[in-house]
Structure 1
């Protein structure tokens, strides 16, 4: 799933490539992906792309007059398997047909370029919204402060305000916006904290380490990602990981084997030596099978 660094980089790429161009056509192939009906898709034809940014993991593309109050926003949540593919030129001028493979939405610009919003797999969760105010998007309205925009004390207050396992609290978008499954694994590894540690029992030293690790991991990932083409971002994300999606490989810090805990629809990775005092965590999925 694209997280804060990748969405920040997509916004930067669109500011470089698309801002200043006019929308020629907005095409919807997957009608379940477009969550709004007013304004209609036809309303943005002829509008200039004037901005591109993010709210947490939501991409926000501003269309129309430079004055914020008069703009229409294309707000996108790419979900687990969604992505933005920028095209310097489309092979065909023929409009998309409903159900055109992985393409959910296509935006054609006046210079012949544009971008597709795509989603792989059968579980379709990508969501696109055309709104006059990003706050109209339910997910945006519920977001907590951005993970890179809080002080240490604000961070501690937000984390301790939700009692639970630190991994789950860290990825709760109402607590802090932008952190997902992958980078939370990296943050907890850097901070040397178990993903199952309870937020209410974190020491002041652990909270400081968690805050500093959050800033370090996310800032470094943004620095690596911004300036890259959209097509290169997934590879950069994978290459920068130390424990996430590296089950069975040696930890680059201590050399211990990276372990995994699996859940119904996702998994987490961690290093026992760095994070749990050398003790492997129980894999809930395997424990159920053994019973």
Structure 2
């Protein structure tokens, strides 16, 4: 799933290619991806693209007084095409294409929104105000916002009775951090994913704040300037524990372990994060000794 660093890079990538251009045609293919109908997606046609910005994991392409807001979900992606096919896209079958946006001009360039797999989560909205999108309206503060201070972070954690892993992933608490980067942040902070957020000391909270900012900023820097098609590979290469079950921890050499949940999994290093203990997951009834 694209998270804050990848969506930030996509925002910059699209800004260079879309700002000031006119949308010639919008072709919806997967109706399930469309979450709004008034105004219709075709209302974007003929409008000039303005700023492209990010709200958490949401892309927001302004076009006149409308906004095309996209959440790529688990398996969605944006694919830029220097020359789109002239024939209209056909829905059905195994076609991953969900929406095509063609720009005005002789080259016929633009982008496709695609989604692989059978579990569909890609969401496309056309709204007059991004706050009309429920997921955008509920977002917590952005961790890379200059106004996001250590004090603000401590306020968010105060009284939280949930495990810190779940708190970091909660978009209503922090905007843009998902499963992968919460693993990376907790590894950088040398903190157990199961630690209760409300139990963190002042020193632990400060350390976690620093790990959060540095992990995300480093990921954004690695992604800066990359083409849309290169971002997935860059994300995978930059991860130290997430998705690396069974491999050695790059810090201490211990084996990276996994906890399996109902619909996802996360990874951690026992030596770096849990004092050598293995964490229980849904397949086990208690903490392993």
Q: TM-score range by the shorter chain?
A: over 0.9
Q: Give the match's secondary structure for 2:37.
A: coil
Query: Per-residue CA shift, 1:266-289, capped at 9, x if unaligned?
Result: 10000000000011111322559x
Could you list the structure 1 runs, at least 4 aligned residues long, displaced by more than 3 angstroms after superposition: none
The question of whether the paired residues in 2 share the 8 Å contact of 1:22 and 1:109 is answered with yes
Alignment CA distance shift 1:161-1:176 (3 Å): farther
Structure 2 residue aligned with 1:20: 20
Is residue 2:47 matched to residue 1:36?
no
Q: Give the match's secondary structure for 1:284.
A: coil
Is residue 2:158 matched to residue 1:160?
yes
Structure 1 residue aligned with 2:59: 59
State the TM-score, normalized to the length of structure 1: 0.94
State the TM-score, normalized to the length of structure 2: 0.95
Distance 2:158 2:76 in 1: 32
Q: Give the match's secondary structure for 1:285.
A: coil
Segment of structure 1 superposing worse, 152-161 or 120-129:
152-161
Question: Out of 129, 133, 150, which is 1:137 matched to?
Answer: 133
Distance 1:248 1:154 in 2: 36
Question: Out of 73, 86, 99, which is 1:93 matched to?
Answer: 86
Deviation at 1:21, TM superposition (A): 1.3
Is residue 2:202 matched to residue 1:204?
yes
- Structure 2 gap ranges (5+): none
Segment of structure 1 superposing worse, 103-112 or 92-101:
92-101
- Within a 5 Å distance, the mapping from 1:210-229 to structure 2 comes to 210-229=208-227
**Aligned-CA RMSD value:** 1.2
The question of whether the paired residues in 2 share the 8 Å contact of 1:159 and 1:170 is answered with no
Segment of structure 1 superposing worse, 197-206 or 98-107:
98-107
Query: Per-residue CA shift, 1:233-284, capped at 9, x if unaligned?
Result: 0000000000000000000000000000001211000000000001111132
Distance 1:160 1:81 in 2: 34
Q: Give the match's secondary structure for 1:116.
A: strand
Distance 1:151 1:284 in 2: 35
Distance 1:41 1:177 in 2: 26
Structure 1 residue aligned with 2:76: 82
Distance 2:23 2:284 in 1: 51
